[in-house]
Structure 1
Amino acid sequence: MPRRSKRHDANEPKDETAPAKPRAAVYAPGLKAGFRATAQRVQDMHHAIADKTFGVLQKVPVVSLPARVVQGAHDAITDGVYAAVRAGGHAALSVAGAAEAMSLDPARRVGPSEQAVRSALNGVFGDHLAEDGSPLAADLDFHLDGAPLELDGPVVEGLQPNVLIFIHGLACDERSWFRRSTSGSVSEGSYGERLAAERPVSALYVRYNTGMPVEHNARRLGERIEALLAAAPQVRDLAIVGHSMGGLVARSACDLAVQDGASWLRAVSVLMCLGTPHRGAPLERLGHLASMALNLSKVTRPLAQVANARSRGIKDLRHGLRGQGAALSVPVRLLAARLADDDASPASAMMSALLGDGLVMPSSAADGDLRGDVQREELRGIGHMGLLNDARVYEIVRRWWDETRPALVTGAAPRG
C-alpha cells in the first residue's frame, strides 16, 4: 500500500476529531472547597471569640491601650496562621487531585458504594456541586443498571404501552428501590420488578440531584418524560411512584405541566406518593430554627453559616408544597406511615404523635388540603425508608395501579 503524503490536500476533509479532554479529578475539588470553607468558618469563630474577650478588656481604662495593641498583633498572627493552613491544605489537595485524575479510568462504572456516597453528597451540597460544574452533580435522567438510559436504544423500543416511573427521595438514587425488604429478603425484588412480572407494564427509574430546588427537578422531569414519549410512541400510559422528595418532584412536575399546557401529562393515569412531605418535614424546620438561633450571637454566627450551606433541595422540605396546587388534574394516591404498631398502647400513641414514620408526619404525607381524585391510606409499624420495599406497600401500589388502568392500554387481563 503506498504511503500517504504528509502534505494536506485542500479538498481532503479535515479531521474534526476533537482532542481528548484531560482527565479531571472528581472528589478532590469538592474536598478543597470544603476545606477552605471550614477553615474560614473556624477563623471567623476564632475572631468572634477573641473580639468578645478583647472588647471587655478595652473597656477597662488601665489596660485599654495595651489590649488594642495585643489584639492587633493577635489578629495579624492568627490571620497569617490560617492563611498558611489554607495554602498548605490547598497545595496538598491539589496534589491529591492530580493523582486522582491520573488514576481515573474514563470508562469505569461507579460501583454501588461509591454511588451511594455521591448521592449523599448531592443531597447535602448538590446545588453547590452543580454551580461549580462538578462531575459529582447528577443530572435528572432515567437510569438502568447504574447507567443513563439511552432513549434511542433497544430498551426504549421494547417498552410496554404501560410504564411505571419510580422517583427516589433525598440523598438517594434509583438503587434505593432495590434495597432489602422489611421482611429481610433480597429475592422479592423491587416493586417495579414484581409488577412487571404480574402485569403488562415496564418499570423505569429516575436518578436526580436531590440538592437542587424541587421546581428545577420538576421541570427536568417533565422534559425527560416528554423526550421518552417522543422516543417511544408505543407508550400510552404512565404511572408515577415517588418516595419522599420524589413525590414532591412528581407532583410539582404535574403542576407545572398544567401551567405550561405540556402534552405529556395526558399520558399520566395516576401519581402515587409514598411518605411524601407535602406539608413539609419537621427535621428541616428544626434545622431552620437552629440556624436562626445560631445566627443570634456573633460567636456562633459562623456555625449558622455552616448550617445554612445545606442544599436548596433540603430547604425546600421545610414547607413542602403547602399552598401550591390544591387540586391536581391526575388521580393522586397518598400513603402515610407510622413507626408505632397498631396496639393502642399509650407508648405507641406517643410514638405516632411525635415521630410519624421517623422523618415525615402522617398529616404531611396525607395532605388533607389536596382535592380532586385523591385517595389516602396509612400503614403502621413501618419507617420512612421501609416504604421503599415492603410487602404491604407493594400490595397497595399494585391495587392502585389496577384501579386506575384505562381499558384502552391494559392490553391483557392481569395475571397473578
Structure 2
Amino acid sequence: MVSIKTLHGSVQLLLDLTSGVTDITETMHRTVARDANPLNRLRDIAGLPPEERQGRTYRMIQSTTSALQRGLHTSLDRFSMGDESSHLPQNVKVVAALNGVCGDHLEASSNPLAITMNFRNSNGERVLPKSANLSSVVPDASPRILVLIHGLCLSHEYWKGHNEADLGTELQRAQGYAPLYLNYNTGRHISSNGRELAKQLKDLVEAWPVEVEELTLIGHSMGGLVIRSACWYGRELELPWTRLLKNALYLGSPHHGAALAKAGNLLTFVMKKFRYASPFALAQHTSAGIKDLRHGNLLDDDWQGIDQDDFHPDYRKPVPLHEGTRHYFIAATVGKHVSTIPSTMVGDLLVRLDSAKGHHADDLRRLHIRPEDCRVFEKLNHMELLDNKVVHDQILEWLA
C-alpha cells in the first residue's frame, strides 16, 4: 500500500527529476549547437543572461514543471499529515533508499520524503526525548542505553534481518540494555548527522526515565562514521553523554573511504573533462552523504569550500577515537582467507579491509586499537554483518 505521503514525495521528486533531465538535455543541445554554429559561441561570450540563452521550448518545460510542483504542494500537503501507511516496512525501506541517493536534495526542497532524525524502540515506535509519554514508549528503560545506527540507504528496519531476535533485543535479553534504533537521512553530510546525533543524545540522556549509567553505540557502515562525528562534536560542546559512552562498535565502517565512492568520483572527474560526456556525469548529482564516503569525511571542515566532484587529495582533519571509550572494529571479506591479496583488496564488496580496520599509512589518521578489539570475518559480505550469528556472538562476548 502506497501512502499519500510517499505518493506526494515521489511525484515531487519525479518533477524535480524532470527539471534536472531538462537541464541536462538543454546543456547537451547547446553544446552541440555551439560547436556547429560559431555564431552561437559569440552569444555565450557576449555574456547574455541564462534566460535569453535558454530556448523557448526548455523555458516552457521548466515553467510547466514549476507550476505542477506548486499545485502538488497545495493539493497534497494536507493529506500527507497523519498518514500511517507511510510507516509500513516496505515504504520505510524505499524512502530510506531514496534518502541515501538524494537525501540532501529532498531536505533542501522540503520534500515530505526527507527523513528527520529520530529514535525508534524495538517495536518501531518513535521515541521522542522531550515527549511527556517517554516512559510508556520505553517501558523497560534501563540505566544502560544501546543505540544502533544503520548505514547508507538503509533504515532501522534493516537491523531486524531474518533472525527472530535482532542484535538489539539479543543484547537486551543477555545484558539488560535498553535498545534504541536511530533512523536518519543518510544523504545529508555525515558531519551534519553527527552534530545532530550529538544533540539528540544529550536530550535523550537528560529525559531518560531512569538515571543513565552507561551508553553504547553500534554503527553499521556509514553509521560508524556518524558515531565518530557525533563523538567529536559532543566533546567540542562538552555534552555530558560523552562521559557516559563506554563502548563504540563499528561494523564494516569505511573509516578511510569506500572503494565504490572513490571509483564513482574518478569516473565523474574524467567525464567532466569532455564536453559531450560532462552532462551525463550523473554521479555529480548524488547525495552529499555518498560523496563524503570517498575519503570518510567526518567534519564540516572536510568538505566546506571543496568541490567534492573534483579529484582532490584527502583533506580530512585527523579525528582520533573518543577517549575513555572502548572501541571495537568488525570487518569482513567475501574471500575464504583473510591473508590473501584479493580478500584484502575486495573486502566485503563495499569496504576494503584496511579501511574497515582503521589502518592508514599516515600515523595521524591511523585508528589505534588493541588487536583483541578487532575481528575480521571470512565469507561474509557487507550486508551480512547486520544479521549474522557469528557476528552477534562476537559482539555479545565483547560487551559481556
- If the length of structure 2 is used for normalisation, what is the TM-score? 0.80
SS at structure 2 position matched to 1:169? coil
SS at structure 1 position matched to 2:247? strand
Kindly indicate whether residue 338 of structure 2 is the aligned counterpart of residue 360 of structure 1.
no
SS at structure 2 position matched to 1:165? strand
SS at structure 2 position matched to 1:378? strand
Kindly indicate whether residue 128 of structure 2 is the aligned counterpart of residue 150 of structure 1.
yes
Matches within 5 A, 1:345-384: 349=340, 351-368=342-359, 369-371=366-368, 375-384=373-382
In the alignment, the residues of structure 1 paired with residue 102 and residue 387 of structure 2 have an alpha-carbon distance, to the nearest angstrom, of: 27
Q: Which residues of structure 2 form unaligned runs of 5+?
A: 1-6, 40-51, 298-315, 360-365
SS at structure 1 position matched to 2:84? coil
In the alignment, the residues of structure 1 paired with residue 99 and residue 186 of structure 2 have an alpha-carbon distance, to the nearest angstrom, of: 6
User: Displacement of 1:108 after TM fit?
Assistant: 1.9
Q: Higher Cα Rg: structure 1 or 2? A: 1
SS at structure 2 position matched to 1:308? helix
User: Displacement of 1:155 after TM fit?
Assistant: 2.9
* Residue 337 of structure 1, aligned match among 324, 327, 332: 332
Residues 325-382 of structure 1 show CA distances to partners (whole Å, capped at 9, x for unaligned) of 23431111001100112398xxxx4541442101000100001311256721100100
User: Displacement of 1:83 after TM fit?
Assistant: 3.2
Residues 173-211 of structure 1 show CA distances to partners (whole Å, capped at 9, x for unaligned) of 10010122xxxxx43x21111221222111110001111
In the alignment, the residues of structure 1 paired with residue 128 and residue 53 of structure 2 have an alpha-carbon distance, to the nearest angstrom, of: 57
Is the 1:28–1:97 contact (alpha carbons within 8 Å) kept by the matching residues of 2? no
RMSD between superposed Cα atoms in Å: 2.7
- In structure 1, give the amino acid aligned to 2:35: K
SS at structure 2 position matched to 1:239? strand
- Mark the CA change 1:92 to 1:254 in structure 2 (over 3 Å): closer, same or farther: closer
The answer for the alignment partner of 1:398 in structure 2 is 396
Residues 274-321 of structure 1 show CA distances to partners (whole Å, capped at 9, x for unaligned) of 0000010111111111111111112222223x4212111111111115
User: Displacement of 1:96 after TM fit?
Assistant: 6.2
SS at structure 2 position matched to 1:218? helix
Is the 2:12–2:72 contact (alpha carbons within 8 Å) kept by the matching residues of 1? no
In the alignment, the residues of structure 2 paired with residue 202 and residue 298 of structure 1 have an alpha-carbon distance, to the nearest angstrom, of: 55
In the alignment, the residues of structure 2 paired with residue 336 and residue 97 of structure 1 have an alpha-carbon distance, to the nearest angstrom, of: 45
The answer for the alignment partner of 1:71 in structure 2 is none
The answer for the alignment partner of 2:265 in structure 1 is 288
The answer for the alignment partner of 2:194 in structure 1 is 218
- In structure 1, give the amino acid aligned to 2:265: H
SS at structure 2 position matched to 1:238? strand
The answer for the alignment partner of 1:271 in structure 2 is 248
In the alignment, the residues of structure 2 paired with residue 156 and residue 102 of structure 1 have an alpha-carbon distance, to the nearest angstrom, of: 31
- Mark the CA change 1:105 to 1:249 in structure 2 (over 3 Å): closer, same or farther: closer
* Residue 102 of structure 2, aligned match among 116, 120, 125: 125
- In structure 2, give the amino acid aligned to 1:338: T
In the alignment, the residues of structure 2 paired with residue 384 and residue 286 of structure 1 have an alpha-carbon distance, to the nearest angstrom, of: 18
Matches within 5 A, 1:224-303: 224-232=200-208, 233-303=210-280
Q: Which residues of structure 1 form unaligned runs of 5+?
A: 1-23, 59-75, 181-185, 403-416
User: Displacement of 1:253 after TM fit?
Assistant: 1.1
User: Displacement of 1:162 after TM fit?
Assistant: 1.3
Choose 259-268 or 314-323, whichever is displaced more: 314-323
- Mark the CA change 1:54 to 1:147 in structure 2 (over 3 Å): closer, same or farther: farther
- If the length of structure 1 is used for normalisation, what is the TM-score? 0.77
* Residue 309 of structure 1, aligned match among 278, 281, 285: 285
